[in-house]
Every structure is written in C-alpha cells, then in structure tokens.
C-alpha cells in the first residue's frame, strides 16, 4: 500500500538522521568491540580465550606472510582443489538431477540409493576414498565432490518440481516439442535453484577441503605430505606451535569462502536477470 511519490523537485527533508548510516556505524562499533574484547581477554589470560593469540599479535604475524610465496601457494592449492571438485560436482550433479527430475523411472531407480548415501558425512569417506583412488589428489578431490554434489542435486530436483504446472500446459498448447519444453521451460525454471544449491554447496566445499587437508597433514590418515593448502597450513602451524598463524589461516579461509560464494551469487544474478529485477 504505497501512495504516490511527491514531485521529485521537492526537497527531501528527513526528520531523523539517516538510518543507513546509523546501521553501518553500529556494525563498526560491534566489530570493534569484539576485537577489543578479544585483545583484552587474551592479554589477561582469561580461561579459554587466554590461549588464543591477541589480534595485535596475529596482525604482526600476518604482515610478513603477505609477501611469502608459500602462504599464497597454500591459497592456490586449496582454491584449485575446491574449484576442480566443485566443477566436477556441478558437471555430474546438474545433469543427473535434471534427469531425475524429468524421468520418473530414472528417479525411482536412483533416488533411494542417493537417499541412503546422503546421511553419511563427506569426511567419513576420506579413508575409503584414499583406498580407492590411486593418488592423494584424486581422493581429496573425490571427497570435495561428494560434499557439494548432494546439495546441488537436491536443489535441482526441488527446483524442477516447483515449476508451475501451468507453464508446461501453456507451452504444450502452443505447440512445443518435448525438447523445446526442456530447453525453454525446465532449464530456466530450475536455474535459480541451481544457483542457490551451488552457493550452499561451495560453503560445504570449503569446510571439506580444510578438513581433508588437515586429516592428510596430521590426522594420520595420509602419511605423505599432501602438497599444502590452507588446511595444511593451519595444521602445520598447530604442530609447529605458532598459534598466531593458526588464526591467520582461519581468517584466510574465511575470506576465501566468502569471496567464492559471492562470486557464485554474482554469476548467478548475471544468468538469471529476471530474478534480479523486482
């Protein structure tokens, strides 16, 4: 229930100060308070927080790293793994999900198997993957793939089911062929759900890659070095006792995860312009 907008020429006096600014200010206050509390808590050696290095120390540890090749190589390693595993999950998960959504028989056959595999957490697959795949890299890739594929497939199926029946009827009565309906109704109809699935999936992927690298580094499952990565970076910092670097690693992964999910969101909006406008 909105009423008309008064002519644009009129000045726009606001009775109170801008809410927008207010809310940014509040966010800054909130994060600053958090950092100060962290600093104080760890300096005072409070229980629990006491062993976490204070932010100033973390910052000091971070600065030399910025020019360190090894650190950036870890970024590269993890990102490469996430990217390939995730790409594989998309390449297999999306067509598979679409097939399940469009063919009743295919769904009836494969969905129950898929449902009994789904509750097994991806990381529980790590040892089995190592036994199966010839190289370390492939087994990590496989686990990452597993982490993302279930979410992507579920979203594809759910998205296809939620397409309005009338769209099919309308298309059918205007003379569409099956292929035309698939290409011009089903595909665009599931696209938004695919993007949502990918966004959630990539979050899981970062979780998995960190753990897989850690397990390969120190947990004992994989004895030989797995060739770095941010998870390994954290784990080796822990083994080496350089605690500030643990925090640096965590923040790095947080940033990497955030960047990758916003890239997906951006790309998603690019390919679904009708969702963007509104």
Partner 1 sequence: MNAPAATGAAAPEQHATKGAIRIQNVDKVYYAREGRVQAVSDCSLDIRAGEICMIVGPSGCGKTTLLNAIAGFHDITGGAIYLDGQMLCGPDKPKAEPGPDRVVVFQNGALFPWKTNLENVAFGPVVQGRMTKKEAAEKARGMMADAGLVGVEHNYPGEVSSGMRRRVEIVRALMNDPKVLLLDEPFGALDSLTKSVMHEALLEIYYRNKVTIFFITHDLEEAIFLGHRVAIMTTRPCKPKKILDVDIPHPRKYNVLTSPRFRSLMEETVSAVHEEAVKAFEAGEKEM
Partner 2 sequence: MSAAPDDQGRLRAGISPGEIKVTGVSKDYGDARFRTQVVRECTFTIERSKLTVMIGPSGCGKSTLIRLLAGFEKPDSGTITLNDAPVTGPAHDRLVLFQESALFPWMTTWDNILYGPRARGEMGRETIEMAEFLLQKVGLAQFRKKYPSQLSGGMQRRAELARAMINNPSVMILDEPFRGLDAMTKELMWEYYSRLFEETRRTNFFVTTDIDEAIFLADRLLIMSNIPCQVRAVLDIDIPRPRTLLAMVEDDRANEIKMSALSILHEEAMKSFSRGSKAAADFVDAYSRRVKG
Partner 3 sequence: MANGKQVASGGEIGAWDMVLYRVSKWLRSPTPYMMFVGFALFFGAWFLLSEVFKVWRFASLPGPREVLIEWFNPDPVYGLSLYSPDYYVHVWSSLRRVLYAFVISTCLGVPFGLFLGWSKNFREFTFPVFETLRPIPVLAWVPLAIVMFRADETPVIFLTTLASFYATALNTMLGVQSIDESYPRAAACLGASKWQIFRHIVIPGALPFIFTGLQISVGVAWFSLVAAEMVSGEYGLGYVINTSYVNVQYPVILIGMISVGIVGYASSALVRLAGDYMMQWRVRELALGGGR
Binding residues for partner 2, per CB under 8 A? 164, 166-167, 169-177, 180, 184-185, 188-189, 191, 272-274, 277-278
User: Rounded to 5 degrees, what angle do the CA atoms 178, 195, 73 make?
Assistant: 130
Would you tell me how many other CB atoms lie within 10 Å of the CB of residue 8? 6
Task: Indicate whether 246 belongs to the interface with partner 3 (CB under 8 A).
Answer: yes
Please report how many Cα atoms fall inside a 13 Å half-sphere around the Cα of residue 80, on the Cβ side.
Answer: 12
Q: What minimum distance in Å lies between the beta carbon of 8 and partner 3? A: 29
Q: Which residue lies nearer to partner 3 by CB, 52 or 191? A: 52
> From CA 203, how far away is CA 264, in angstroms rounded?
11
Q: Which residue, 93 or 231, is less far from partner 3 as judged by CB? A: 231
For partner 3, the closer CB: 164 or 180: 164
Pick out residues in 6-25 that bind partner 1 (CB under 8 A).
6, 8, 10, 12-15
**Residues 6 or more apart from 191 whose CB is under 8 A from it?**
159, 271, 272
Would you say 48 or 179 has its CB closer to partner 3? 48
Integer Cα distance of 23 and 238 in angstroms: 38
Contact positions with partner 3 (CB under 8 A) in 127-146? 127-128, 130-134
Q: How far is CA 154 from the centre of its chain?
A: 16
Measure the CA dihedral 211/214/216/220, to 10°. -110
What are the residues binding partner 3 (CB under 8 A)?
22-23, 26-31, 34, 48-49, 51-52, 104-105, 108-113, 116-117, 119-128, 130-134, 165, 203, 206-208, 210-211, 214-215, 218-221, 230-231, 234-235, 237-238, 243, 246-247, 249-251, 253-255, 257-258, 261
């Amino acid at each position: 229930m909105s009423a008309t907008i008064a002519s644009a020429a009129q000045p726009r006096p606001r009775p109170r100060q801008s809410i927008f600014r207010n809310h940014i200010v509040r966010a800054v206050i909130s994060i600053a308070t958090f950092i100060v509390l962290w600093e104080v808590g760890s300096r005072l050696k409070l229980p629990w927080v006491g062993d976490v290095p204070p932010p100033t120390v973390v910052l000091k540890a971070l600065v030399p790293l910025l020019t360190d090749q090894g650190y950036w190589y870890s970024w590269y390693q993890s990102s490469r793994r996430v990217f390939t595993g995730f790409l594989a999950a998309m390449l297999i998960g999306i067509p598979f999900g679409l097939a399940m959504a469009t063919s009743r028989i295919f769904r009836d056959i494969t969905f129950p198997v898929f449902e009994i595999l789904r509750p097994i957490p991806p990381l529980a697959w790590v040892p089995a993957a190592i036994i199966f795949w010839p190289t370390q890299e492939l087994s990590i890739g496989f686990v990452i793939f597993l982490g993302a594929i279930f979410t992507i497939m579920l979203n594809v199926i759910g998205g296809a089911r939620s397409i309005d029946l009338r769209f099919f009827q309308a298309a059918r009565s205007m003379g569409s062929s099956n292929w035309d309906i698939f290409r011009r109704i089903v595909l665009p109809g599931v696209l938004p759900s695919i993007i949502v699935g990918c966004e959630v999936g990539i979050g899981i992927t970062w979780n998995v890659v960190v753990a897989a690298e850690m397990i390969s580094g120190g947990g004992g499952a994989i004895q030989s070095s797995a060739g770095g990565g941010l998870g390994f970076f954290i784990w080796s910092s822990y083994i080496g006792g350089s605690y500030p670097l643990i925090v640096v690693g965590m923040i790095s992964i947080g940033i990497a995860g955030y960047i990758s999910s916003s890239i997906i969101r951006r790309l998603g909006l690019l390919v679904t312009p009708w969702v963007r406008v509104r």
